[in-house]
Structure 1
Amino acid sequence: MEEKALCVIPARYASTRLPGKPLKDIAGQPMICRVYDRAKEARRTAATIVATDDKRIETVVLAHGGKAIMTRRDHPTGTDRLAEVAAAMPDYGIIVNVQGDEPLIAPALIDALVAAFDGDETLAMATVKTRIDDEEEQVNPNNVKVVTDKDGYALYFSRSLLPYPRHHLGIPVYKHIGIYAYRRDFLLKFAKLAPTPLERAESLEQLRALENGYRIKVIETNRTFVGVDTEEDLARVNEIYRRAQADA
C-alpha cells in the first residue's frame, strides 16, 4: 500500500537578513502563499500545511484558504519544527520539507522526492541536487555542494568545493538544494539525535544523518531555484513572476 505523504512548509517570521520574510510581497501575494500554492500542486502528497511560530503568518495562510499549524517558538532548527508536526500527524508515513523561502519550488520535484521511497522500505531520507558550472558559484560557501556514489546516495555535503579538481577530468560539481523528504519514523528519531562533529564544523544538519550511518538518496534536477534571503533575491523572484504573468 502506498504511504501517504504530507508536505510541511516551515515558516519563521524572524530572519537576520530579511525580517518578516514569509510575508514579503511577490507579484501581489505574500511569499508564503506563493510557496503554499506551488507545493499544493504536487500530486504525490495528500496534504500541504504551513508550520509557523507566528500568528501573523498563520492568519495570512488561513485567509488565503490554506492550512497552517502553530508550533513552538523555541525550536533550534527547522527539522525540529518539522518533527513537532510529524509527531502530531501519525497518519502520514512520508514527510516532505519545503522551505518557506522557495517560491519557485516545482510541484514535480516534490513528487520525485516522494517517488524515491517507492519500493525501498529501508530509505530514511531523500534530497535534491542541481549541477553548477559557474566557477564563482562553485566556490561560494553559501552554496552547499554534494557528492554521491554511483547509485545516487550522498557521500558528503560541504561548503567547500567538492570534488576538488586536482586532476581536471570534467567531473561536474553539484549544488545541494535544501528540500527534503523523510520517513516519519526516521524524522522523529533524527530530531532527537545529538549534533555531530562534521555537522558542527560545516554547519550542515544533514551531515548528522550520514555520521550516524543513514543513507540519503539524492535526486537530480535541472530546474532553477532562487531561495529568498536578501532584498536582491526578492527583487529577482518578483521579476520572474512578473515575466511569467506577462507570458500567460
Structure 2
Amino acid sequence: MKKIAVIPARYAASRFPGKLMQQLGDKTVIRMTYENVIATQLFDDVFVVTDSELIYNEISSHGGKAIMSLKDHETGSDRIAEAVENIACDIVLNVQGDEPFVNKKALADILSSFDGEDGKTVDVATLKEPINKEEEINNPNFVKVVSDYKDFALYFSRSPIPFARETNFAPNYFRHIGIYAFRKEALLKFSKFEMRQNEKAEKLEQLRYLEYGMKIKVIETDFIGVGIDTPEDLERAKKYLTDIVKK
C-alpha cells in the first residue's frame, strides 16, 4: 500500500491564531512537525496543506512540500481530502500541525492497523493515551475517547467520558491524540457528508465518521507529547523540548 502523510495547517486557529508560526526552539511549530514526520521514514511522501501563504512559504523555503488549499474548509480532513483527491495513494496519514512531537513508533502503530484481515474493517485509525490528572480530564481542550472491547471508538468528547456516577468507582480516562490515518476512499466520503449534530456541538470532526457509521480504530500508546491549542500549551511544549535536549 502506498502511504503518504499530510499535515493540515490553518493559520487562523480560533483559540490561538498564528500558533503554527510560533517559535519552538530554533524552528516554528509547523516546521518542527513537518520535519519530525519526514524523519520517521514511514511514508512515500509528506505534504503540508494550508490556507496561509506564511505557512506555505515557511515550509517551501526550507525545502519542504506544501500545497495551498483551493477553497475554505470547515475541518482539516476536508482540507486533506481536497489535496489528495488526485494523488495516487492507499493510506493517508493526517498529523495535526499543532502536534510537533510525533514519533516513529506511534505513527507505525497507526499504520499497522490496516494490515491483515482485521485491518480490512478499519476505515480510520488514531491514537489515545491515558490521563489521570483531574484538571486534564475536565479540560475541554483535552479531547477524551471511549472505545469498545475491540478498540473501536464509541465516542469522542470534550467532556469527561465515561461519567463516573458512583464515587467509589474510578474509570480509566484516555486523551485522544489528533493523529489519524485514513483509507483514501473513507476520507473522500467524509468530505462529501454534511455535518450532523454531535460534530456541530463538540466541534470535533472525527465524530462525523462515527455519525455516518464508519469504523475508527483507537490504539493506546505511551506517546508523551504536547498538543498546542493555547499559549499555555506552547509554554508547556517549550519546557518539554528543553527536557528532551537535557536528556
Q: TM-score range by the shorter chain?
A: over 0.9
- Please state if 1:63 is matched with 2:61: yes
Q: Distance in 2 between matches of 1:13 and 1:206?
A: 21
Q: Distance in 2 between matches of 1:20 and 1:163?
A: 33
1:211 — aligned with what?
A: 211
Q: Distance in 2 between matches of 1:145 and 1:18?
A: 21
2:190 — aligned with what?
A: 190
**Matched residue SS, 2:192:** coil
Q: Specify which of 36, 44, 47 is matched with residue 46 of structure 1.
A: 44
**Alignment of structure 1 residues 76-225 onto 2, 5 Å:** 76-89=74-87, 91-119=88-116, 120-167=119-166, 168-225=168-225
Percent identity (aligned): 43
Q: Distance in 2 between matches of 1:205 and 1:139?
A: 20
1:16 — aligned with what?
A: 14
* 1:73 Cα deviation after fit: 4.1
Q: Distance in 2 between matches of 1:96 and 1:30?
A: 21
Q: Distance in 1 between matches of 2:162 and 2:16?
A: 32
Deviations 1:207-244 (A, max 9, x none): 22112111110001122221112222222212222332
Q: Distance in 1 between matches of 2:80 and 2:212?
A: 20
TM-score, with normalisation over the residues of structure 1?
Answer: 0.92
Greater shift after overlay, 34-43 or 166-175?
Answer: 166-175
Q: Distance in 1 between matches of 2:32 and 2:172?
A: 32
Equivalent pair of 2:49/2:66 in contact (CA under 8 Å): yes
**Matched residue SS, 1:129:** strand
Unaligned runs of 5+ in 2: none
TM-score, with normalisation over the residues of structure 2?
Answer: 0.92
Counterpart code for 1:165: A
* 1:140 Cα deviation after fit: 1.9
* 1:132 Cα deviation after fit: 0.8
Unaligned runs of 5+ in 1: none
**Matched residue SS, 1:80:** helix
Equivalent pair of 1:130/1:220 in contact (CA under 8 Å): yes
* 1:189 Cα deviation after fit: 0.6
Q: Distance in 2 between matches of 1:136 and 1:246?
A: 27
Counterpart code for 1:148: S
Deviations 1:132-182 (A, max 9, x none): 111221122222211111110011112222111223444311111111110
Q: Distance in 2 between matches of 1:18 and 1:198?
A: 23
Equivalent pair of 1:43/1:111 in contact (CA under 8 Å): no
**Matched residue SS, 2:198:** helix
**Matched residue SS, 1:49:** strand
* 1:88 Cα deviation after fit: 2.5
Q: Distance in 2 between matches of 1:98 and 1:4?
A: 17
Equivalent pair of 1:45/1:111 in contact (CA under 8 Å): no
* 1:15 Cα deviation after fit: 2.5
Counterpart code for 2:55: I
**Matched residue SS, 2:200:** helix
Equivalent pair of 1:50/1:67 in contact (CA under 8 Å): yes
